[in-house]
A and B are shown apart, each in its own frame.
Chain A
Amino acid sequence: MYRLTKDRALALAMLLLIAIMLVESGNIPEKTSWQPYGSALFPRILLSVIGVLAAVILIKSLLTQPSPTGAFWPAIKAYLSNNRKILLLFALFGLYAALLPLVGYIAATLGFLLLSLALLLGIDSRRKWTIILAVSGTLVPLVYVVFRFGLNVWLP
């Protein structure tokens, strides 16, 4: 029974990507009479290269016995319990991207900085609160002024 490892997961993900892209490449218009090759040729060459490399990575990983620490699911479990803050930071960034057009730069960025700094620094002392408020309160207007008036870029 084969176990899922990092390399096998990577190779399988790549093979899945290739399958999707190959199907989608069927929608690329065919070559015209004056073109020696069509627009689908270059991406198909790349998909073939990625396919061969992914297959070699998969075969190599199947031929070698994975170390007990290399097993995929236990590693994922350990990762999830050790790196909750990183996952939350990703989620906060996603939320930030979603809120930017809705509430505008100032509110969304202030919210993102306050929450992510609180997440990473903690809020168990007055000093940390001061740092979080000072960094967020200074940077948000500073970046706005630099982009809006210095670089003439309108922020949402």
Chain B
Amino acid sequence: MADFFLQALNQVGNPAVLALITIGVMFGIVGGSIPGFTVTMAILVVFPFTFAMDPVSGVALMIGVFVGGYSGGIVSGVMLGIPGTPSSITTVYDGYPMAQNGEPGRALGIGMLASFFGTVISVGVLVFFGPLIAGFSMNFRPWEITALIVFALTLVAGLSNGALLKGLLAAALGLLITTVGYDRNSNLRFDFGFEPLNSGFEILPVMIGVFAFSQLMSNLEQLSDERATSQRVDTKVAIPYRQILVDLAGQKLNTLRSSLIGSLVGALPGTGGTVANFISYDQAKKFSRHPERFGKGIPDGIVASESSNNAVAGGAFIPTLALGIPGDLPMAIMMGVLILHGITPGPLMFEQNPILVGAIYVSLLFGAVIMVICQLMLVRWFAKISLIPQQILVPVVLMLCAIGAYALNNNLFDIWVLFGFGIVGYLLWKAAVPLTPLILGVVLGNNLERQLFRALELDSNWLTFLTRPLSALFLALAVASVVFSILQNRKINRNLKAQGSDA
């Protein structure tokens, strides 16, 4: 353990990789601080730059973006009152009032340090639980892996804002996309006589197309709805270091609790920073001696929010690395990076690529340190950058997406794939279809089919999926997640009807 950790430290600690982490962190903070840009978009834009890199450098750059992105949301949250990312919504509840009370530097400083502690604690959770879960999942055979993937997809679909049917539909569509082209038996499927489809769709252009177009166009639609309120913001912020150290000294328990909540939530498929954010804010309020002060600019609220959303970073790596199943969109893209570099995330990764696993741990830690230094030193600049209008951002990001899709294989057809799936993603978004299950389906489709057929080749009886205890458990959990989601949807609809009749 210590040996491969030292080797990983040696690889990540070299100046070139550290520079990449720094670039990633800074880009992530910028991405996170621009309202509507999101961590996922920042990761997608940087992804193509990793093509020519070795795995450690590529992963280190992406982790930098990941860590920076989750902490970047605080800048616009505090300065503008608009969360830069959905995972920093509750940061606004206390960060913005504190800034309005004349203490923006204090709010930012508390948030930045809480982000740092959140990331570090989550790395501890990852280092402890990652190998344990990976060791346990080494016993999984094709039946268990198939059932686990089905469970992950139903869970993500069920958590899609009350749109269970559409979530399941999206997941199945994502899986269907992966069936285009030659299969593992070299049989051609769904090529429609069109040669470029023979090799199927690359994951990257599909993911970028579906996510980026819908996200960017929705940002533009919101602009035309709101008619952009031009806000004058004072970006001259000074961090009161002594004050924030005193503030954080009184928040040890809150920081630990919120970080653990963030790590746990991050490890669950389909949840992510937004859920972690709300749960830990709610818990901090419940445990507080003065809950009435929440929402008025109290350090407790900022600490709960920022430590939990950054702790998602470490937690989210647990299922991705240990089981090969990404829990959310940023992790799905991270898995794409690993696959692109010829590494298959999963339990075997801990045996076959221990140095890379160690490099992920070390990159997260270095990323956290670099993030807090960059944030504290360059906060004024990040505040200014967060004011870049969407009208400039959208064409630039679209151009980078096109070049990124092309650079994957030097193939112009991939730009058409990006465009086609961009239109599909946008139309699905307009029809209120959640896109996360679709993207997870695209990432997991090939593995699901491979495992399903391996299971059926070993034993052609479908009932084996129900007679093996773990496989049966995962399938039961999949059914339970669907039933739970149906019941919850009914409850929400009943409440909405009751509110409607009251009004």
Contacts and interface: CB of A to CB of B under 8 A. Distances in A.
Given A85-B220, A153-B410, A39 B51 contact: no
A27 B2 CA distance: 55
A14 B169 contact: yes
A88 to B, nearest CB: 11
A50 B192 contact: no
A156 B95 CA distance: 47
Interface residues of A, number: 61
A139 interface: yes
Contacts of B221: 83, 86
A155 B410 CA distance: 8
A94 B426 CA distance: 15
A145 interface: no
What's the interface size class on B, roughly? Answer: 35 or more
A120 interface: yes
A50 B15 CA distance: 50
Contacts of B431: 6-7, 9-10
B19 interface: no
A123 to B, nearest CB: 12
A116 B176 contact: no
A117 B395 contact: yes
B398 A57 contact: no
Interface in A109-129: 109, 112-113, 116-117, 120-121
B412 A100 contact: yes
B129 interface: no
A153 B190 contact: no
B188 A28 contact: yes
Interface in A74-121: 82-83, 85-86, 89-90, 93-94, 96-97, 100-101, 105, 109, 112-113, 116-117, 120-121
Nearest to B405: A97
A16 interface: no
A86 B422 CA distance: 12
A78 to B, nearest CB: 12
B178 to A, nearest CB: 9
A154 B410 CA distance: 7
Nearest to A28: B189
B183 interface: yes
A36 B464 CA distance: 15
A120 B49 contact: no
A151 B50 CA distance: 8
A40 interface: yes
A91 B453 CA distance: 42
Interface in B311-359: none
A25 B190 contact: yes
Nearest to A49: B172
A6 B427 CA distance: 10
A101 B217 CA distance: 26
Contact of B395 (A42, A49, A105, A113): A113
Q: Which 5 residue pairs are nearest across A and B when measured between Cβ atoms?
A: A116-B395, A120-B391, A39-B187, A151-B52, A43-B179
7 contacts: A38-B187, A39-B185, A50-B172, A50-B173, A113-B396, A116-B395, A120-B392
Interface of A: 6-7, 9-10, 14, 21, 24-25, 27-29, 32, 35-40, 42-43, 46-47, 49-50, 53-54, 56-57, 60, 82-83, 85-86, 89-90, 93-94, 96-97, 100-101, 105, 109, 112-113, 116-117, 120-121, 131, 135, 139, 143, 146-147, 151-156
Interface of B: 49, 51-52, 165-166, 168-169, 172-173, 175-176, 179, 183, 185, 187-190, 192, 217, 220-221, 224, 389-392, 394-396, 398-400, 402-403, 406-407, 410, 412, 415-416, 419, 422-423, 426, 428, 430-433, 449, 452-453, 456-457, 460
Given A46-B172, A120-B392, 13 more contacts: A28-B189, A35-B185, A39-B183, A40-B189, A43-B189, A46-B175, A60-B165, A90-B423, A93-B419, A113-B395, A120-B220, A120-B391, A153-B410
